[in-house]
Amino acid sequence: MPTIDQVRDVLATINDPELHRSIVELGMVKGIEVAAPQVTVDLALTIPGCPLKSFFQEVLPAKISASFPEITSVTVNLGAMTDEERKALVGGVRSQTPTSFATPESRTTVLAIGSGKGGVGKSTVTANLAAALAKRGHSVGLLDADIWGFSSSRMVGTSARPTVVDERLIIPVEAYGFKMISMGNLVEDDRPIVMRGPMLHKILQNFLTDVHWEEPDYLLIDMPPGTGDISLSLSQFVPGCSIVLITTPQQAAEKVAERAGHMAGKVGMKVAGVIENMAYAICEHCGERTHPFGTGGGHELADTFGAPLLGQIPLDPPMGELADHGKPSVIVSPESPSGRAFEEVTDAVIKVIPPRPKSRARKSLPIIMSPSAAPVRTG
Ligand SMILES: Nc1ncnc2c1ncn2[C@@H]1O[C@H](COP(=O)(O)OP(=O)(O)OP(=O)(O)O)[C@@H](O)[C@H]1O
Ligand SMILES: [Mg+2]
């Protein structure tokens, strides 16, 4: 007959699917009773009505019976953590401060995608870049810093609500292999949000601090149009972070992106590269390239900042249509002109702004073992 410790060792190998930590380490296992052929486990969910109930009901019995052939019946009693237990858990799991992405130990490359000008494709580029980086095996977070004009949730087709373990611990939603948070995941779609500058600052801070990003390789920030508040806030939280400027080939767009680049420089951000969107159109009959928005904006902007032109994305109306319905072209049509262009841009981004080395020692995080996490009953 297995001992309680042996059963606990098996449970310790099971991770909470959202927090990615052992359920024993998180203090979720409240009691283990062994009376062969029966094992009973008392498990406290992080929040009542946790959507992962059925996961635990399936996985715990399967793991225990697979480990101990003499155990043929496993009962999992589900309860919920007390407020105090949840606070202890949050304190242990939360590893970020607003500025922790800026420390030398950070494993995350923070990359803002901005342009100053509205409607040039910042959100489209951000969503495709996130999906393409994730496809290549990088861990990626997408933070929609367009608090008022959020669109990232629509671009990746999920208005799912994040799991809020506590207001200081929010599990981001997942799409196409990356994690994301957007106001679109938090509010009803068409409800206007009236906010003053300080509130935007606070929300950006919350998104950086309270969302359980888990040190992704890349954290992409979809910037709002304009050069104002959010750039300033971001530069305060993540001093020296990089920005990729998006422009179309037109002079008018290029000049606005230039102002955004200078503003970024003023607040200590570094222009890491330029992407020219809607750079050309391809005739679907003869394949000829035309330039409905002129030429030159991307090169000019890149020259201004001595930064590389990371790529040119064609005007691709079906791609725009797909993007607006939550389907990034690198996922649904990687062979389309825009899909291929995004793949090339992604290669260029990785080359110019490589992920930080993974071998760097992770910050050691406190292990939570509240007294009540110890087994309380014996069989
Ligand atoms: N290369 C492209 N070909 C066709 N349509 C595109 C292309 N890039 C973007 N679009 C479309 O243009 C519109 C604006 O794009 P997007 O929302 O990405 O711009 P934005 O710069 O984020 O805008 P905002 O400043 O409002 O945040 C969207 O409908 C999008 O689908
Ligand atoms: Mg946008």
Q: Could you tell me the CATH number of the domain that includes residue 22?
A: 3.30.300.130
Cα distance between residue 307 and residue 310, in whole Å:
9
Let me know if residue 259 belongs to a domain: yes
> Against a cut of 0.95, is the pTM above it?
no
Q: How many domains does the chain have?
A: 2
Pocket of ligand 1, beta carbon within 6 A? 118-124, 146, 149, 151, 225, 277-278, 313, 315-317, 319-320, 323-324, 338
Cα distance between residue 299 and residue 312, in whole Å:
10
Q: How many degrees, rounded to 5, is the angle at CA 335 between CA 333 and CA 339?
A: 65
Whether 149 and 249 share a structural domain: yes
Q: Helix/strand/coil (H, E, C) string of 23-56?
A: CCCCCCEEEEEEECCEEEEEEEECCCCCCCHHHH
**In the chain, helix, strand, coil percent, each to 5?**
35, 20, 45
Over residues 282-326, the pLDDT tens digits come to 988 898 999 999 999 999 999 999 999 999 999 998 888 888 889
Whether 334 and 198 share a structural domain: yes
Q: How far is the CA of 42 from the centre of ligand 2 (A)?
A: 46
Whether 147 and 236 share a structural domain: yes
**What are the CA-CA distances from residue 240 to residues 103, 195, 292 (Å)?**
10, 26, 36
Whether 81 and 110 share a structural domain: no
**Residue 130 parent element (H or E):** helix 122-135
State the closest ligand 1 atom to the C-alpha of 222, by its place in the atom list counted from 1.
Answer: 22
pLDDT the model gives residue 373:
36
Q: How far is the CA of 31 from the centre of ligand 2 (A)?
A: 49
Let me know if residue 378 belongs to a domain: no
Whether 203 and 219 share a structural domain: yes
Residue from 153, 189, 185 nearest 171 by CA: 185
Extract the tokens encoding 290. 């035309």
**Residue 222 parent element (H or E):** strand 218-222
Let me know if residue 254 belongs to a domain: yes
Residue from 333, 341, 296 nearest 315 by CA: 341
Q: How confident is the model at residue 378 (pLDDT cuts 50, 70, 90)?
A: very low
Over residues 1-26, the pLDDT tens digits come to 899 999 999 999 999 988 888 999 99
Let me know if residue 357 belongs to a domain: no
Whether 188 and 264 share a structural domain: yes
Whether 162 and 236 share a structural domain: yes
Residue from 116, 176, 123 nearest 323 by CA: 123
Strand partners, 7: none
Distance from first CA to last CA of the chain, Å, rounded? 10
Q: How far is the CA of 95 from the centre of ligand 2 (A)?
A: 29
Residue nearest to atom 5 of ligand 1 (CA): 320
Let me know if residue 358 belongs to a domain: no
Q: Which ligand is nearest to the CA of 246?
A: 1
Q: Determine what percent of the chain is predicted with pLDDT higher than 70.
A: 91
Let me know if residue 309 belongs to a domain: yes
Over residues 265-284, the pLDDT tens digits come to 988 999 999 999 999 999 88
pLDDT greater at residue 306 or residue 89 = 306
Whether 62 and 114 share a structural domain: no
The residue segments making up the domain with residue 335 are: 100-352
Q: How far is the CA of 96 from the centre of ligand 1 (A)?
A: 32
- For the ranges 141-145, 163-167, 338-342, 364-368, which has the lowest average pLDDT? 364-368
Let me know if residue 337 belongs to a domain: yes
Whether 262 and 154 share a structural domain: yes
Q: What is the CATH number of the domain that holds 331?
A: 3.40.50.300
Residue nearest to atom 8 of ligand 1 (CA): 121
| Mean pLDDT on 219-227 | 91
pLDDT the model gives residue 190:
64
Whether 369 and 254 share a structural domain: no
- For the ranges 130-139, 218-227, 338-347, which has the lowest average pLDDT? 218-227
Please determine, for residue 50, whether its predicted confidence score (pLDDT) is greater than 80: no
Q: How far is the CA of 128 from the centre of ligand 1 (A)?
A: 12
Whether 11 and 104 share a structural domain: no
Let me know if residue 359 belongs to a domain: no
Assess contact for 313 and 279: CB atoms under 8 A.
yes
Residue nearest to atom 25 of ligand 1 (CA): 118
